[in-house]
Structure 1
Amino acid sequence: MNYKPLLALLSGALMSAHAWSAPEYIADVDITSFDGTVLDANLFVPETPAPAGGYPTVIFTNSWGLEKHQYHFQAKEMAENGYLVLSYSTRGFGQSEGLVDVAGDNSLSDVGVLIDWLEANYPVGKLGMAGISYGGGISLLSAAKHPRVDAVAALSGWADVIEALYPNETVNLVWGTLLVTSAFHKEAELEQVWSDLRSGQNLEQVTQFGAQRSAVSYVDEINQNGTAVLLSNNFADYLFKPNSMTDFYSLLEGPKKLMLNPGTHAITETLTGNNGHIWSTSFRWFDHHLKGENNGIDTEPKVDMTVRISNKLEQFEDYPVTEESTTWYLQPRFTLFNTARMDSDKYDGWSWTNEFHGGADTFAGTGIPLVSDALEGFGIPVYAPMIAINGYYAIEYKSPVQWETLKIRGEPKLEMWVEPSKEEVQLNLHLYDVGPLGLGRLITHAPITLHSEQTGKKQKIEVELFTTSYDVPAGHRVFLAIDTQGYVYQKPEDTNYTISVPYSSSKVSSLTVPHL
């Protein structure tokens, strides 16, 4: 039997179907906003007729420093699947006019104009917004301001601007500088806010600036609008840490989904492509909430966590993912070369004091800023030799050997008594997985800066380390290494200080680790 005519017929039919479904691409669309600012956009229009109720529609918003072409491949795939897709450059970026206002009133009003323009020119059905980083933040804020936004996919977005740039009252120097210097057409207020934050001045105004641009300030409006919200953040994202996003997720009352992934800010979403877990889940989110497809995403577990290093995907019903935890109590060290212990029993010996000092960094750290964070997404951890950490400038504590795999999931918490010698001091907390050879792999970290504290007064600090998902292998220990400097954060102007750590039955310090 000759199969060639049949194959040719099938090939022709497939090619015809593909050509018929290819969307129309309009490369340049100028849309005039409320104040006369012209926004640069592009548009994919499905070739198929609009369904009853209009096209499911998605607006893509660019990341900081990028523009309307950022999501070309995602937009094209969605248009081939029947979506009307508008991608635009936010004011001040790309070919759009105006000045960057960091998701301020002008940028959010622009979104309303874009929705009006779409509805005036095309049959628009349910509408969603999506974006990475800056685009994710604007998408969340738009969900609060514009009830017409039915669903959102906020990838590497933020819920709290101040927490991003000033975690535990510590200036996020690397990321803040990168943001300010990479926006070439920005409102003067941004430079002033950054200057005030770095100098510790006008912090009330800085906080107000951040609150106006933080989705957590408008969670009631999002809940009232009933917006379906998908959130995705990365463990080594030291700009928009997952902590504030998990808190924000817990406040949402409508349909919601949370994805927590290895890697750094915006890189994981970008490099995994359309078929990666983040984008494929985002597409399914819109298919269900905008197109009405019964694809099961509404009945699946709400929380996806991918374990660091192994990249194993786990799913949980909600966040926090576990109520189990282990608490270790900090014990004193007896020399600068001695690693102190963390035990399950509280310290009840003689009163004791340890000291470590500011003035120098140590081998405890987060690696090369931006580079090491990105490599973690490929399963390459940040290493540190524990024996090389200078005991004059740091203090270390080690847990008992873990005879079974310790599956850390969530936010470790440190409660610690300290006595600073100066009014401003900084602590950088690092949690490591350490094997028999003494080489540590970074599990998570967090900074804290104490300002205008009473010099020479014992005080208790409480610090939530950054959200993590990490498996400590059997036979390894957990190490807590604390020093006073890190490449990512701005250090105090005067680093010649001493941190004293008191131990007594009434001054008990502890580390609590959540785990499965």
Structure 2
Amino acid sequence: MFGYRAAAVLALAATAGTAAVAVPPAAVARAGAPYDYREISIPSVDGVRLDGNVFVPRAKGPHPAIVFISSWSLEDHEYIAQAAKFAAKGYIVLSYTARGFFNSGGGIDVAGPKDAADGSRAIDWLLAHTPVDRSRIGFAGISYGSGISQIVAARDRRVSAVVAMDTWGDLVESLYANETRHMGAYTLLALSGRLTGRLSPETERIMNDFGANRNVPELVRWGKVRSPGAYRDRLNARRVPILISNAYGETLFAPNQLLRHFAGLTGPRRLNLSIGDHATAHLTGLLGLDGRTWNDAHRWFDRHLRGVANGIDREPPIASETAWTRRIETYRDVAAMTRRVERLGLGAPGATARGDGTLGALAPAGWARTLRTGRDSGANAGIVIVSGGLQTFGLPNAMPERLVSRRAAAVWSTPVLTATRRLRGVPRLDLTVTPSRRTGTLVSYLYDVDARGTARLITNEAHSLLRGTPGRPHKITVNLQATAYDVPAGHRLMLVLDTRDPIYADAGTPGGALTVRAPSTLDLPLG
């Protein structure tokens, strides 16, 4: 099993590798191009200067403009191929490296107030140095740049539209959902940030506290300020058009918090959901290649900055890709993705499955299954970015069912399905759990198992009890991450519960145990 550091290095290589092969500036600043290109330096708050570049059309202005903000651990040339495409259509395109990274000054602020101020200073620079139409300025970015873009739009009325790729709505939930530290995501961000940039003193302190599991209230306060969802009222008040493009398999910014953020937006909005992981659906676009998500980014800005009647504002707001089929389904809103819910009662784990809505057979006096804390059953959520990213190319996170240890896990299975189950939305577990100690972590996995016993991971989630009463049953709800997945006839659904996974921190104590018992249920969202 890969450790956190090895997983982080692999994920960083998978993400940053595209930057190494990005289109060089000389290739886009060619003779005869309908724009001029130059490297720039943008003055910002605290005497910091931001490294950047700008494309300016040679035709007479004023022109609409797009500001791209770099991803975490990348720099302003990340978007150069797409910037050239936009510039060829008449946009001024400014890209800058977020503060604290590479040649930009200051310390990494993690989408904090200084990052928001930097976005406004980029607009100031455009107004002072280019023939920009101040009423038609858009912001965009992948990952880190996407969250900052939304926050800048909430704080600066000069932003007219946003494209946010691989973004987040709630940073606290992204890193600390269900009071469980997401150590895979944290390790990737901390390691890559230190390798490619300079953490501010506040960021250094917060990251150290997170790693040591201390000062959690301060972490929550810090994260809320850096959550676009905290600024929805401002975005809605101005009806800022926002296009969001994310992946179902996200291991950095998992989909549930993002779906809630999107559902709360009331202005012009669009959500593209793809199969994959963080940034994997957008990487080819950084090389200038066409693709659904980048094509929609062009259409979105063309509509809301140039006034082109291309119809994107009249299409259903949600376009969702179904796992393995590449089929795109459209919906009017998040709630419409799930048409009905099928509830399955959990019976005795490992018993013969029944076809009456029960996973396992109910023992006459009920059932209970005790799981020792800190034991990894072999079921796992994979390697951050890498495992989910491979799904972009049709390679599932799969394992032989027989490798899941029944000694370390509770396992339930449906009968062989006679018809396809179209999972659309958020599977939900309602569990009765009795801890032997005050703390403990329960990790839930939902698998698709074929006739040969190969189990493909559909979704997962972790939940920690941090203030449990030993010996007393607790009712807990676990919302597994949203999915769009067809489980074919002839396959089975398998639910696995254990107490440890490499991408999550384990809140269990040595010698502790969690006992899952009746009544407990699994709700399947069906489309």
Q: Which residue of 2 aligns with 1:24?
A: 36
CA distance in 2, matches of 1:315, 1:297: 13
Q: Which residue of 1 aligns with 2:53?
A: 42
CA contact (8 A) 1:363 1:385 kept: no
CA distance in 2, matches of 1:122, 1:376: 42
CA distance in 1, matches of 2:408, 2:356: 23
Q: Given the alignment, which residue of 484, 492, 496 partners 2:507? A: 492
CA distance in 1, matches of 2:490, 2:247: 28
* Equivalences for residues 140-159 of structure 1 within 5 A: 140-159=150-169
1:218 equivalent in alignment to 2:239: no
Q: Secondary structure at the match of 2:295?
A: helix
Q: Which amino acid aligns with 2:433?
A: V
Q: Given the alignment, which residue of 68, 82, 95 partners 2:90? A: 82
Gaps of 5+ in 1: 1-17
Q: Which residue of 2 aligns with 1:111?
A: 119
Q: Given the alignment, which residue of 390, 402, 414 partners 2:429? A: 414
CA distance in 2, matches of 1:212, 1:294: 36
Q: Given the alignment, which residue of 57, 60, 63 partners 1:55? A: 63
Q: Which amino acid aligns with 1:390?
A: S
* Equivalences for residues 117-196 of structure 1 within 5 A: 117-125=125-133, 126-183=136-193, 184-196=197-209
Number of residue pairs the alignment of both structures matches:
488
Q: Secondary structure at the match of 1:474?
A: coil
Q: Secondary structure at the match of 2:270?
A: strand
Cα distance, 1:341–1:420 mapped onto 2, change above 3 Å: farther
1:263 equivalent in alignment to 2:273: no
CA distance in 2, matches of 1:287, 1:339: 57
CA distance in 2, matches of 1:342, 1:167: 34
* Equivalences for residues 280-291 of structure 1 within 5 A: 280-291=295-306
Q: Which amino acid aligns with 1:511?
A: L
Cα distance, 1:393–1:128 mapped onto 2, change above 3 Å: same
CA contact (8 A) 1:153 1:229 kept: yes
Which moves more between the two structures, 286-295 or 384-393?
A: 384-393
CA distance in 2, matches of 1:187, 1:161: 18
Deviations 1:304-355 (A, max 9, x none): 111122222222222132232211111113xxx6476685269694233222
Q: Which amino acid aligns with 2:132?
A: V
Q: Which residue of 1 aligns with 2:243?
A: 230
1:331 equivalent in alignment to 2:335: no
CA distance in 1, matches of 2:218, 2:475: 28
Q: Which residue of 2 aligns with 1:243?
A: 256
Instruction: Kindly report the root-mean-square deviation, in angstroms, between the aligned alpha carbons of the 2 structures.
Output: 1.8
Structure 1 residue 366, shift from structure 2 partner: 1.9
Gaps of 5+ in 2: 1-29
Q: Which amino acid aligns with 2:171?
A: V
Q: Secondary structure at the match of 2:172?
A: helix
Q: Which residue of 2 aligns with 1:428?
A: 443
CA distance in 2, matches of 1:455, 1:130: 49
CA distance in 1, matches of 2:64, 2:347: 60
Deviations 1:264-296 (A, max 9, x none): 111221135541111011110000000000000
Deviations 1:158-182 (A, max 9, x none): 1111111112111111110121122
Which moves more between the two structures, 380-389 or 407-416?
A: 380-389
1:463 equivalent in alignment to 2:473: no
Q: Which residue of 2 aligns with 1:397?
A: 412
Structure 1 residue 196, shift from structure 2 partner: 2.4
CA contact (8 A) 1:44 1:79 kept: yes
CA distance in 2, matches of 1:71, 1:341: 54
CA distance in 2, matches of 1:230, 1:315: 15
CA contact (8 A) 2:55 2:94 kept: yes
CA distance in 1, matches of 2:180, 2:524: 23
Q: TM-score, normalised by structure 2?
A: 0.89
CA distance in 2, matches of 1:443, 1:195: 33
CA distance in 1, matches of 2:383, 2:223: 28
CA contact (8 A) 2:206 2:219 kept: yes
Q: Secondary structure at the match of 2:160?
A: strand
Structure 1 residue 149, shift from structure 2 partner: 0.7
Cα distance, 1:451–1:341 mapped onto 2, change above 3 Å: farther
Q: Which residue of 2 aligns with 1:253?
A: 266
CA distance in 2, matches of 1:67, 1:331: 53
Q: Secondary structure at the match of 2:282?
A: helix
Q: Which amino acid aligns with 2:441?
A: Q
Q: TM-score, normalised by structure 1?
A: 0.91
Cα distance, 1:135–1:487 mapped onto 2, change above 3 Å: same
Identity %: 37
* Equivalences for residues 335-414 of structure 1 within 5 A: 338=351, 343-344=356-357, 349-414=364-429
Q: Which amino acid aligns with 2:181?
A: V
Q: Which amino acid aligns with 1:280?
A: N
CA contact (8 A) 2:143 2:165 kept: yes
CA contact (8 A) 1:46 1:82 kept: yes
Q: Which amino acid aligns with 1:203?
A: V
Q: Secondary structure at the match of 1:69?
A: helix
Q: Which amino acid aligns with 1:381?
A: P
CA contact (8 A) 1:330 1:340 kept: no
Q: Which amino acid aligns with 2:64?
A: P
Deviations 1:397-448 (A, max 9, x none): 1123322211111111110111111211111110001122222111111111
Q: Secondary structure at the match of 1:96?
A: coil
